[in-house]
């Protein structure tokens, strides 16, 4: 039996077939429901946040000193590497959405939700990193809510990243004296 309304099993077959057009749009089909430019802008701010966090954790890793700080130093390095992974995932998603990832270091601090830290005291470093993780968690929570169901790929990526940020916050809380 031929489908007269072009629907089969509840799917719009014509829309599915139109996905073959506009190849220059890459992964973005006409069914993409989010405001693509707004999502890219949001992701570029998240990218700046992640890159600033990499720099903060790296600074803490290289400058932490004192007895019994080896485990803290290792935690800083692990977090820096995971934040770099987040930045890479975000940049890749921006490209998938036909955007351009903004790696301009001159604007990191203005675009970042977190702040850089130059503490020399180990506990001040841990506290600054915990604050930044909590800021990141709230930022991701708000981004996830703003995207809703309109961009499931970006939403799922942000949920995954937020889960790691929550692990970081838990780790850092345990390191507070």
pLDDT tens digit at each of 177 positions of the chain:
444 456 667 777 777 777 777 767 777 777 788 899 999 999 999 999 999 999 999 999 999 998 999 999 999 999 999 999 999 999 999 999 999 999 999 998 999 999 999 999 999 999 999 999 999 999 999 999 999 999 999 999 999 999 999 999 999 999 997
User: What is the pLDDT, as a whole number, of residue 27?
Assistant: 77
Q: Which fold has domain 34-176?
A: Ferritin (1.20.1260)
Find where tokens 């946040």 sit: 49
User: What is the pLDDT, as a whole number, of residue 18?
Assistant: 78
168 labelled ligand-binding: yes
β-strands 7-8, 11-12 pairing: antiparallel
Find where tokens 């890793």 sit: 61
CA–CA dist 81, 125 (Å, integer) = 17
Residues near 55 by Cβ (< 8 Å), separated by ≥ 6?
116
What phi and psi, each to the nearest 5 degrees, are found at residue 114? Answer: -100, 170
Q: Are 158 and 140 spatial neighbours (Cβ–Cβ below 8 Å)? A: yes
Find where tokens 């604050």 sit: 131
Nearest to 165 by CA among 114, 95, 92, 109: 114
Domain borders along the chain are 34-176
Q: Are 125 and 60 spatial neighbours (Cβ–Cβ below 8 Å)? A: yes
79 labelled ligand-binding: no
User: What is the pLDDT, as a whole number, of residue 9?
Assistant: 75
User: What is the pLDDT, as a whole number, of residue 1?
Assistant: 43
Eight-state DSSP code of residue 7: E
Count of Cβ atoms closer than 10 Å to residue 12 Cβ: 13
86 labelled ligand-binding: yes
User: What is the pLDDT, as a whole number, of residue 2?
Assistant: 47
71 labelled ligand-binding: no
């Amino acid at each position: 039996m031929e489908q007269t309304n072009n629907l089969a099993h509840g799917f719009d077959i014509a829309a599915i077939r139109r996905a073959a057009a506009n190849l220059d749009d890459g992964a973005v089909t006409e069914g993409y429901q989010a405001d693509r430019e707004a999502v890219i802008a949001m992701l570029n701010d998240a990218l700046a946040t992640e890159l600033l966090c990499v720099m903060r954790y790296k600074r803490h890793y290289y400058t932490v000193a004192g007895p019994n700080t080896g485990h803290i130093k290792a935690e800083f390095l692990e977090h820096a590497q995971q934040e770099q992974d987040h930045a890479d995932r975000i940049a890749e998603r921006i490209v998938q959405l036909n955007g351009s990832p903004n790696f301009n270091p001159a604007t990191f601090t203005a675009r970042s939700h977190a702040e850089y830290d130059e503490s020399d005291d180990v506990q001040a470093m841990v506290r600054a990193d915990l604050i930044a993780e909590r800021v990141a968690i709230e930022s991701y929570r708000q981004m996830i809510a703003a995207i809703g169901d309109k961009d499931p790929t970006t939403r799922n990526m942000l949920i995954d990243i937020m889960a790691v940020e929550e692990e970081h916050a838990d780790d850092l809380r345990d390191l507070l004296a």
